[in-house]
Amino acid sequence: MIRPVIRSVIRSVITAGAGALILAATASATGASAATDPTGPVVAHGAAQPVFSPNLRDWVLQEAWVEVPVDSDRDGVRDRVHVRYARARAATDRLPTIMVASPYFAGINPIPNHPVDHDLYDPSARRSPASTEAWPNPAAERRLGDPWGAALWVARGFAWVEVSALGTGKSTGCPTAGGPLETAGPTAVVTWLGGHGRAVNAGGQPVRADFATGRVGMIGTSYNGTLPNAVATTGVPGLKAIIAVSAISDWYRYYRAGGAVVAPEGYQGEDADILARAVLTRSRSAICQPVVADLTRRQDRVTGDLSPFWAERTYLTKVADVRAAVYVAHGLSDWNVKPSQAGLWYRALRAQGTPAKIFWHPYGHGGNPPLYEQNRWFTRYVIGAANGVDHEPRAIIASPDGRYVRYADWPVAGAAPRSISLSRLHLRDGAPGRMLTFTDDPSLSLARFTADPDRTHGLAYATAAMAQPTRISGFATARLRLALGQANANLSVGIFDLSPSGQADLVTMGWADPQNRRSLWRTDPVTPGRMMDVGVALEATDHIVAAGHRLAVSIIQSDADFTIRPPAGKRVTIDTARSTITLPLTRALPER
């Protein structure tokens, strides 16, 4: 689940120290600003300076309910989203706004996930009806959802706005897990900040956003970063820039892969309906039971096929409507919101010329770009101050030792696809051969199998040792010629960095359902014993393989951490001479 991100190792490494320095500078600058008495943002050296107090007692804090032009809870009344907004009391100008939209400000409910220990879909089998369960009581909503972020931006002369997503906290409506109705909530707030739309206070009196210039930036991590992506695809005029961290760009790829039902890491069995139930914290939550029941029915955990349900949750197909400048940040070891969510989104934005940058780090879920990068991004596009951001390198890749290395773009220059047949690789366990058969052990994961290969349950290959440092930058794929011994099977493929001591570090992985070999939109029955070609798209990556290391390729069926786990023993036979792995490779240049 794209849960609220607890301060993680990556955030403490990348932002905590810098945050302490910035807040200290805020206090210093606030004292020094008495002579100038700024009434709005102060830009120096290309960035908004901390000239206002970061303390809540020195702010104006208000709330309102913004009308949304949808009726997601089907009660015949337009939905309303609850908004809390703050500004420094001394900032009397109309201010640019930084906005966070979230389904998490009121907490989450403990909802059990779907079972995953069952057989895979067989087109001749009948479906079972969806289960029902009791609904929890709504959680209480906190006064400010992100006081750390609020202090950072209010001190720099921005207004700070928090939006509770539909169906959460004090908002009405229902959660729809990435659907267009959900997107309409924060989009309506951007419109209101621009002087349009309708909002009321707790007493029902109209409220105008007379504190705002109408220029808005959105920022957030995980679900809170996904909502900026969604709002950007509406082309709403007031949204000038977003910083999307560990964010989804395609909900189908979040809960599915190559037609296979997959899970976010750590949340086996979760799906769109489970997520909606978890964040449903509004009062009178029972009104949303039919809405969430529709999610359960339409998401289709049986076939795993792409469908209109998932297509309307794919922002990649709406990228042409993005008008905001987009800063993408993601962890290369994030197996919750997997790296291709960032890689595909950035690639699509760059292809159409949208102002965009990308920040990769080697850790897991979470991890903002450096604070100076965030500040300069919003200074350029939300305040509108020319600071050269448009002409800087577009990619920053953080090395494991904490250095930020800048590149003209990503994938890095020179990366080109190189294909190699499995038959030309070294089989790490067992005798090589052209036609190799293995059986499924659903208790295995790709990582456990690679650390201790077992020829009876998969194929483990390795390249020769690298003569020089080699970079993998971009998207890898596998093309497998195979036959199943039955009507269905999972496919899981991983690429690992194998050190001389035998340690295997994950580089990228991917999953697929052979029944979707021709189209993600359609299940094509499998004839047992008949050879077919199946493609497996692996996740985006950027990794340097040191000289003397080897690349390991692992192929198994079920992956215990991600796929459905059917009964053991399903058989797959691979024609290794007609199966290839394609990697985007280039020589790794010395980092500066």
Residues marked as catalytic: 222, 334, 365
Q: Which residues of 395-429 are buried (b: 16+ CB within 10 A; e: fewer)?
A: bbbbeeeeeeeebeebbbeebeeeeeebbebebbe
Radius of gyration of the chain (CA): 25
Strands 239-245 and 212-221: parallel
B/e letters for 527-563, b = 16+ CB within 10 Å, e = fewer, are eeeeeeebbbbbbbbbbbbeeebbbbbbbbbbbbbbb
Q: Is the dihedral of CA 491, 497, 500, 501 positive or negative?
A: negative
HSE-up (13 A, CA, CB side) for residue 380: 23
Pairing of strands 395-398, 404-407: antiparallel
Q: What's the token pair of residue 84?
A: 């809390």
CA dihedral 305, 308, 312, 314 (to 10 degrees): 30
Can you say how many angstroms the Cα of residue 363 is from the centroid of all Cα atoms in its chain?
Answer: 14
Q: Are 182 and 76 in contact (CB under 8 A)?
A: no
CA distance 64 to 52: 24
**In the numeric block, which tokens belong to residue 322?**
């993005």
In degrees, to the nearest 5, what angle opens at C-alpha 539 toward C-alphas 399 and 15?
35
Separation CA 542–CA 554 (nearest Å): 19
Distance between CA atoms of residues 439 and 541, nearest Å: 29
C-alpha to C-alpha distance for 219 and 149, rounded to whole angstroms: 9
Look-up: residue for tokens 């949204």?
239
How far apart CA 405 and CA 402 sit, in angstroms, is 9
What spatial distance separates the first Cα and last Cα of the chain, rounded to whole Å? 37
299: left (phi over 0), alpha (psi -120 to 50) or beta: alpha
Specify the pairing of strand 491-498 against strand 550-556: antiparallel
What tokens appear for 35 in the block? 């002579």
Q: With helix as H, strand as E and coil as C, how does 384-435 read? A: CCCCCHHHCCCEEEECCCCCEEEECCCCCCCCEEEEEEHHHCEECCCCCCCE
The token pair at 382 is 């939300």
Length of the chain: 592
